[in-house]
Chain A
Amino acid sequence: MTGAASPDQAVGGLTEMLAGSPPRSDALGFYLHVPFCAARCHYCSFNTAPLEDGALARYLGALHRELDLLAELPWAPRVRIATVFLGGGTPSLLEADQLAAVLDRLRARFDVAADAEVTVECNPESVTRAKLAGYRAAGVTRVSLGVQSLDDAVLPRLGRLHDAGGARAAFAAAREAGVANVSVDLMYGLPGLDVAGFARAVEAVLAWGPEHLSAYGLTLDAGSLWGAAGVAGLPPEDTVVGQYWALARAAARRGLEHYEISNYARPGFRSLHNQVYWRAAEYLAAGPGACGFVGALRYANVKATPRYGEALEAGRLPVDSWEELTPRQRLGERLILGLRTSDGVPRAWLDERLAGDAALARRVGDWRARELLVDAAGRVRLTEAGFLLSDALFVDLL
């Protein structure tokens, strides 16, 4: 079942939907969306907008109210928040005290675990050692730094506001501020970047010694500048595949685990919050366009920040659309999310999906025969070669 809120829909309707869909688990993730950036990167289709005067304060007011309203859901008192993730946009546009106020409010309203992983996405040009120290004091345990590239010819083409030196300095600042868990984001498949160039960036970043590395192949998403206007100089598929393998090998040499299609971590430093997603586990969400999942309900907030603010000023949860998953959809999601990770899924789940579908079982057999999919200790998982083709399997598994 799916739905969308109409402007005049009874306020209670959506709140009741959420109220009537208690989480199955007591430990939840919590995603907070910060919808502002200093400028829009050319490949970006996220829900973000330029930071205008007064907008940040209005947004923060609304966010606080949203946390209050969510906490009033009947089941809220019995859940515990195990991970928190501030994403965007550019959360590092928040001053340390603003961030602290948000986290304080969250802790005031919800039972946030004392050892919760609290991640903030940061852009190099908007962080300083002092700001990061403030974040840390506010309870942030993990910083995810958007580096994307270390090529000063490539960075401006992406519309990034920092250069390689700035990225490096930001990483050092995080360390100096005492952040013990730092993740770096890189991109590959970028225009003007060959395999060797990317491999150099990977080596350089790994030499900084981050606990975690995310690397995303470029996609031209609808809603991004490049998605609309196109971009010249995209590398051929061979190059992109070469970059994927260069990264996989370099990470392995440095002892990082390739634990999800686009994510690498030193042992013990996988992103706890993101694993919530890939385990098809539950999470709450706040902020414009943020998406949550509780019970069998996936819901999404209103995207436009002004409308988001209006809903909350009117005392309503800003939910825009929701969907109740059928058991079959749940199984499909658990498979296609779980198989994104090197832990894979219990073999029984896959068997359940294959039962009675001989054609699918044959195709899955092909994946095993080609060692794209492997079995171990009662679980199945994709290999690194399998990750690269995973959507071809996921289509069938849904």
Chain B
Amino acid sequence: MTLSRNRNFSIVAHIDHGKSTLADRLLALTGTMDAKKAVDQVLDSMDLERERGITIKAHTVRLLYKARDGEEYTLNLIDTPGHVDFSYEVSRALAACEGALLIVDAAQGIEAQTLANFYLASDANLTIIPVINKIDLPAADVEGTRLAITETLELDGDEALAISAKHGTGVPEVLEAIVARIPPPAGDPDAPLKALVFDSFYDSYQGVVVYVRLKDGRVRPGTRILLMSNGRAYDVQQVGVFSPDMRPVEELSAGQVGYITASMKRVADAKVGETITEALRPTAEPFPGYRDAKPMVFAGLYPIEDTEYEALRDALEKLRLNDPAFSFEPETSLALGYGFRCGFLGLLHMEIVQERLEREFNLSLIVTAPSVRYRILTTAGELLEIENPSKLPTPDRIEQMEEPYVRSSVFVPTEFMTAIYKLAQEKRGEHQSLEYHGKRVHIRFDFPLAEIVVDFYDKLKSISKGYASFDYEFAEFRPSDLVKLDILLNGDPVDALSIIVHRDKAYEKGKALVEKLRAVIPRQLYEVAIQAAIGSRVIARETVKAMGKNVTAKCYGGDITRKRKLLERQKEGKKRMKQVGRVEVPQEAFLSVLKS
């Protein structure tokens, strides 16, 4: 096996620009996948990916390509997600590659994640091949996109390939360009084993399956391997490649990408970024390693039925096996009982985890309003990190509070600039820079993370008719004038409804929240008073009137079955209610803050 005929590359792009569709074409052209049998976006193998039409996890596959020079090449492709919540998947994938295809939608042009992914790839010193996709669309502007690539990215737009991943136009040239432009991996098969773990998943039969990129050396079943960060040793059981399903091979060697199983029990045993070497002949230098994906958004997850607590914990543990970016810790709430405070990369990630828990594990859950992580310096001089608003110390014990800020990029046609600035101002954004790129502008703002996790993206899309794109990354903690807003039902504070807000916005937020709660809390046997308060000061109030009548007038022979079915349906709906004190609160009430 000579390294000169290996190519390792990722496909990166802004969301929906066609990465997975291009991957389909490459699989078909190389005969990896029978074109007739293939479904669209075949690498999007999770149910949720297929339903939502987006990629959530990076997917690896090996292709064998007979190039025009007559040689057969082994191409290792990694399809990556475009959504900002999952950008850490992109960095992991890039670490296993020498090159990247940067896809740009010919009708949309360069967008926020195009730029973000371009920087990730160039920081990783990869060879970048720009690819202009969707040239079949009537709105495609190939020349304009070439120009934008030249001006915005430090790439030569004239070298961009113009393709239609959907129809296959230009895709053969993509394969040729991969062979011609991306360098083969460098590495020494005879040196001690040095492999980078760039992904992993848990399989109940084989234990942890780790995705590796070999820099040097070889690995085969029976090799005794050593994980350099924790010193654990294992005997390799199987090595293999994805084509696209797992296929065992005899050996993986320097420059190659594949998988290893070695009866590891927990994904945490072989973290992404880990260096794997031989136990008997360890390499001298491990990889620098990289920082773990850190949860940015936190929410409480509670079972509606107290009896499902254990089941929820088991489910969270199972999910975590394959999703190291997700964290959870037990917590208790006076209102909701026993549950977990969970950390997510963003709201999409949160929705996906919730959906998987409900669907795959058949749980009914209450999700509390998402919060970010705050830093508090107490008057006693302690530094606290708070992810649950109800845990905030009383104001007299707080010396200073800090909240996380992000650095963000907004790409938008010039005509929407005014609207964007207005929105940014509402969201406490601080303008950093403005660049013109033809008809579009690239604006950089710093935002408090708390302002953008919730409905910012939807608002941005709606005020720009869908044209604005947005990307962000954590910047730093900054001091801020924050207060805790409590919600009281019939005079009792409901801890799970507390939120932390900027003082200037507390009144507006409190008012919106009680209004929203009034709309979602159904009438009960008695009146329900809903109040928003800061400390002991009530700033907004609404009431849900007591139920006046709720009765079926006629119930004779023919009505009985219908009535019972109607009530049974209502009962199904009521299953999503939580009894808080004496008030029945529907599940969506806890997320009201998202919509108010």
Contacts and interface: CB of A to CB of B under 8 A. Distances in A.
Contacts of B549: 217, 237, 240-241, 244, 388-389
B524 to A, nearest CB: 8
A370 B526 CA distance: 10
Nearest to A301: B558
Instruction: Name the residue in B554, B557, B561, B582 with the highest tally of chain A Cβ atoms < 10 Å from its Cβ.
Output: B557
B554 A216 contact: yes
B553 A277 contact: no
A286 to B, nearest CB: 12
B552 interface: yes
Interface in B551-596: 551-558, 560-561, 563-564, 567-568, 570-571, 574, 579, 582
A237 B547 CA distance: 10
B368 to A, nearest CB: 20
Contact of A388 (B551, B556, B574): B551
A283 B571 contact: no
Given A277-B560, A333-B564, A336-B564, A372 B571 contact: no
A367 to B, nearest CB: 8
A323 interface: yes
Interface residues of B, number: 25
B547 A398 contact: no
B553 to A, nearest CB: 4
A319 interface: no
Contacts of B574: 395-396
A199 interface: no
B550 interface: yes
A188 B76 CA distance: 75
A332 B570 CA distance: 14
Interface in A216-240: 216-219, 237-238, 240
Contacts of A146: none
Given A332-B564, A336-B564, A398-B564, A262 B550 contact: no
Nearest to B584: A363
Nearest to B552: A391
Interface string A266-310: 000000001001100001010001111100001010000000000
A363 B561 CA distance: 25
B555 A337 contact: yes
A392 interface: yes
A95 interface: no
A363 B554 CA distance: 25
A290 B548 CA distance: 33
Contacts of B548: 237-238, 240-241, 388
A390 B557 contact: no
A238 B549 CA distance: 9
Nearest to A236: B548
B553 A323 contact: no
Interface in A176-226: 216-219
Contacts of A142: none
B525 interface: yes
A370 B574 CA distance: 22
Given A395-B571, A396-B571, A298 B560 contact: yes
A104 interface: no
Interface string A6-20: 000000000000000
A75 B509 CA distance: 69
A244 B550 CA distance: 12
B366 to A, nearest CB: 15
A398 B571 contact: yes
Contacts of B568: 398
Interface in B499-555: 525-526, 547-555
A370 B527 CA distance: 13
Contact of A277 (B525, B526, B551, B555): B555
Contacts of B555: 261, 277-278, 337, 340
Nearest to B549: A388
B560 A333 contact: yes
Interface in A247-265: 261-262
B558 A389 contact: no
Counting chain B CB atoms within 10 Å of each CB, which of A283, A285, A398 scores highest? Answer: A398
A36 interface: no
A69 to B, nearest CB: 19
B595 to A, nearest CB: 26
Nearest to B522: A392
Contacts of B547: 389, 392
A333 B555 CA distance: 11
B468 to A, nearest CB: 41
B571 A277 contact: no
Contacts of A359: 579
20 contacts: A31-B557, A31-B558, A216-B554, A240-B548, A240-B549, A261-B552, A278-B555, A285-B557, A291-B557, A298-B561, A323-B561, A366-B582, A367-B525, A370-B526, A388-B549, A389-B525, A390-B550, A390-B552, A391-B567, A396-B574
Given A336-B563, A336-B564, A398-B571, 11 more contacts: A240-B549, A262-B554, A277-B555, A366-B582, A367-B525, A370-B526, A389-B549, A390-B550, A390-B551, A391-B567, A396-B574
Closest 5 CB pairs of A and B: A216-B553, A291-B558, A237-B548, A391-B550, A217-B553
Interface of B: 525-526, 547-558, 560-561, 563-564, 567-568, 570-571, 574, 579, 582
